[in-house]
Amino acid sequence: MKILGLTGGIGMGKTTVARMLQQAGFPVFDSDLEVHRLQGPGGAAVGAIGRLVPSALIPGEGADEHGHPAIRPSLNRAALRKAVMDDPTLIRSLERILHPLVFAARDRFLRRCRRRGAPWVVLDVPLLFETGGNRRCDCVVVVSAPHQTQVRRIARRRGMTAAEAARMIALQMPDSEKRRRADIVIRTGLSLADTRAQVRSLIRQMKSPGNA
């Protein structure tokens, strides 16, 4: 089984590319989705993150017949994001909580795919280089777009100003460095049809006799 690592900064179009690969039949591990699950109601990371950033904790309410919260504790992601923007040093503490849990879920996914005999799997991981995940990949694809396109996408999606979006981007590894480390770069700054054509080319490479 071969592993394709898919990464790219926020607002670059990585989710769109991952969806195209999934639609083509490749199993995809979505680390962002796993983080959402861990931070959602009753998620395994809620307690530790709530202690780190109390302003982001949404306490559980009520109780069932067993004395457990009827509405399980969760996190206010907007409040958590604001706390990180105000104090970027929180990022490392959050990573120490989340990364081991995400890695465990990733490894379970890989074991399932290996048992099923999948020829290729996709690890959709924004922090692929930062966490060293690229070292276990056979090919690393970076999704990239021009800086102004990235800023515009983030601002529109999150209801931010351009300056706030630029601050978020500045907290991440530079796009130029990710592109330098990539085996393949998919550029999403033009049309959706152009992105789709690049993904089709990638899929042909993955299915070629030497790679399948």
Place of tokens 């307690």: 47
CA distance linking residue 6 with residue 143, whole number of Å: 8
- Start-end of H helices in the chain: 14-23, 31-39, 46-52, 77-86, 90-116, 147-158, 162-170, 175-181, 192-207
Edge to edge, the sheet with strand 2-7 lists 28-30, 120-124, 2-7, 139-144, 184-187
126's tokens: 């924004």
Binding-site residues for ATP:
11-16
Residue of 100, 93, 101 whose CA lies nearest to 50: 93
Binding-site residues:
11-16
Residue of 174, 152, 153, 197 whose CA lies nearest to 7: 174
